[in-house]
């Protein structure tokens, strides 16, 4: 049943260009792979990567001599590397990053068939190549997911606690929610981003067009509300689903984001030294103000029970307000590291509350004994 449902979902979710917009040929002199019809570039590698599900996917790696970050780009639906090639070159130049883009199974010249699980294996193969072939470290990598590419991007991001950052470009809440405004997550849905975004432990930038006719802007806004490490989002006024790169604010805002996360190594060290979720909130005060802008947070919180647990770990302000006075006071003392003498005074003030309780207990005990005495007299 599950396999049949996934197959049906794939027919609605994936539209690889047919025919593919490029070919992979081997240079007779160098033996290198070339993406035809594009001219060979010294700083671009064309690769074929095996996946754990048996496919061979095509990928390109663009080098930048000044790069300190590597962008792993998962493109949108109805696109392949031939259509994305020039954009990848431009992004590498303007952002000063290395960039790897890849085609999903069944897209372009990649073998296999497109499916949710295959895209997860595809992005894993690309990530593995970055680590093993190019020496990229997890804390240097920025995952970029466009439209349906937000699915494999968030799936991988939930498993990389030291990731530098995530960019979601016209993302989806889930596959089913693109077609129907459902309020809960169903087992047969695909790309359940709404459940995964609270588990991502790095800064997240969301870009969405306000006039998107394919994936409504509300998808991006709800995902932003659920982010643990929010960065100022970019809602491009009048932007549609496939034209956001044409707006000047797109590259300007994206460049600012990359520059910001590259200058914040304390996130990496703090995540290494302690647990996965808590330190990032303490070390990223610059992202906290945006968390207060919650236009549609309440509605999205009710859409699935599975997200309640991670959300409780993130909403620290609400959590503190709901505590009783005693636990609230003690938590603040621990987190703010109040000197020991203040803690001692606080403890004594709590102990003082026990004294009147003891006197009340003593009076009740005496009253009980006097009643017992009257009962014995009556019985006699």
Any idea which residues carry the catalytic annotation? 147, 212, 241
Q: Which two tokens stand for residue 251?
A: 């590259």
Distance CA 316, CA 321 (A): 9
β-pair partners for 45: 61
β-pair partners for 235: 208
Q: Which two tokens stand for residue 79?
A: 């696109």
- Contact status, residue 193 vs residue 174, Cβ threshold 8 Å: yes
Distance CA 202, CA 168 (A): 13
Distance CA 37, CA 45 (A): 15
Phi, psi of 25 (to 5 degrees): -125, 160
- Contact status, residue 300 vs residue 174, Cβ threshold 8 Å: no
- Contact status, residue 209 vs residue 167, Cβ threshold 8 Å: no
Helix/strand/coil for 238: coil
C-alpha radius of gyration, the chain, whole number: 28
- Contact status, residue 245 vs residue 87, Cβ threshold 8 Å: yes
**H/E element, 280:** helix 278-283
β-pair partners for 209: 236
Q: Which two tokens stand for residue 51?
A: 């996946």
């Amino acid at each position: 049943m599950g396999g049949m449902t996934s197959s049906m979902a794939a027919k609605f979710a994936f539209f690889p260009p047919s025919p593919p917009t490029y070919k992979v040929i081997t240079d007779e002199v160098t033996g290198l792979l070339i993406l035809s019809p594009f001219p060979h570039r010294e700083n671009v590698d064309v690769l074929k990567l095996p996946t754990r599900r048996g496919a061979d996917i095509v990928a390109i790696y663009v080098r930048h001599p000044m790069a300190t970050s590597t962008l792993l780009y998962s493109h949108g639906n109805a696109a392949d590397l031939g259509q994305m090639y020039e954009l990848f070159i431009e992004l590498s130049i303007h952002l000063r990053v290395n960039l790897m883009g890849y085609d999903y199974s069944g897209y372009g010249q990649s073998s296999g068939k497109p499916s949710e699980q295959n895209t997860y294996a595809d992005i894993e193969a690309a990530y593995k190549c970055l680590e093993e072939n190019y020496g990229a470290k997890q804390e240097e990598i920025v995952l970029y997911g466009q439209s349906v590419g937000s699915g494999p991007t968030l799936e991988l991001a939930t498993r990389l606690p030291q990731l530098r950052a995530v960019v979601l470009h016209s993302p989806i809440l889930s596959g089913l929610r693109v077609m129907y405004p459902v309020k809960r997550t169903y087992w047969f849905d695909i790309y359940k981003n709404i459940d995964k975004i609270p588990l991502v432990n790095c800064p997240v930038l969301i870009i969405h067009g306000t006039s998107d006719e394919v994936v409504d802007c509300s998808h991006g806004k709800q995902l932003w509300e659920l982010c643990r490490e929010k960065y100022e989002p970019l809602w491009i006024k009048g932007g549609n689903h496939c034209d956001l790169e044409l707006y000047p604010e797109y590259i300007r805002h994206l460049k600012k984001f990359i520059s910001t996360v590259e200058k914040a190594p304390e996130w990496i060290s703090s995540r290494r030294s302690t647990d996965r979720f808590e330190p990032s909130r303490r070390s990223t005060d610059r992202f906290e103000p945006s968390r207060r802008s919650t236009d549609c947070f309440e509605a999205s919180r009710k859409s699935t029970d599975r997200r309640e647990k991670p959300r409780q770990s993130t909403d620290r302000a609400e959590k503190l307000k709901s505590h009783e006075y005693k636990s609230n006071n003690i938590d603040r003392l621990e987190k703010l590291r109040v000197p020991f003498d203040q803690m001692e005074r606080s403890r004594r003030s709590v102990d003082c509350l026990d004294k009147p309780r003891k006197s009340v207990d003593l009076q009740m005990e005496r009253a009980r004994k006097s009643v017992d005495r009257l009962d014995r007299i009556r019985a006699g």
